[in-house]
Amino acid sequence: MSYLYFVTLNTGSADRIAPPSAIVTQAAALDLARALRDGVTGIARHSGFQLQALTVGPALLCTVSKAGQPLATFGVAARSRGSANLWQIMHETSAGYGLASDRTSPPPAPWCGVRVEPGFLSYPDAAQWLASYEVDVATAWIEKRHQ
């Protein structure tokens, strides 16, 4: 994978970024494997935070939470197959708050779409690491499952 579209649904901002190396994503890959196996797991490098993960067809849907409060939900589409469905789900499950992204127009795959949840405001220190963690999980998913 030579690039990843990283989109924030709340703001509509999108960036095409270079994915990190497999060495960098190793801890996130282990978290993801545990979350897919068990439904939810603690995030190894961030005490008290949890990763919930499930597959949606060929795509991935995750939520990072702490103390039962979702901080961010993110979806990962490695290819166009399943991309539109996941994008629609990300918009339909927004719990009534507005999103700036166009629900009918997913970005080109591969992408990681992030929806910042209201619980994020309770844990502002997560801003220091959460976006890079989302990218690491997305990269691990794409590299492991779709290469």
- Give the pair of three-digit tokens for residue 34: 């545990």
Residues 109 and 77 sit within 8 Å (Cβ to Cβ)? yes
Q: Can you tell me the mean pLDDT for 108-122?
A: 96
Cα–Cα distance between 78 and 142 in angstroms, integer?
Answer: 6
Query: Residue 34's pLDDT is what?
Result: 98
What's this model's pTM, rounded to 2 decimal places? 0.94
DSSP letters, 30-88, are HHHHHHHHHSEEE-TTSTTEEEEEEEETTEEEEEEEETTEEEEEEEEESSSTTHHHHHH
Query: Residue 146's pLDDT is what?
Result: 62
Residue with tokens 């290819």: 79
Q: Taking Cα atoms as reference points, which of 88, 142, 140, 136 lies closest to residue 115?
A: 88
Confidence category of residue 23, pLDDT binned at 50, 70, 90: confident
pLDDT tens column, 33-78: 999 999 999 999 999 999 999 999 999 999 999 999 999 999 999 9
On the question of pLDDT at 24 being above 90, the answer is no
Residue spans per domain, the chain: 4-145
**Widest Cα–Cα separation across the chain:** 38
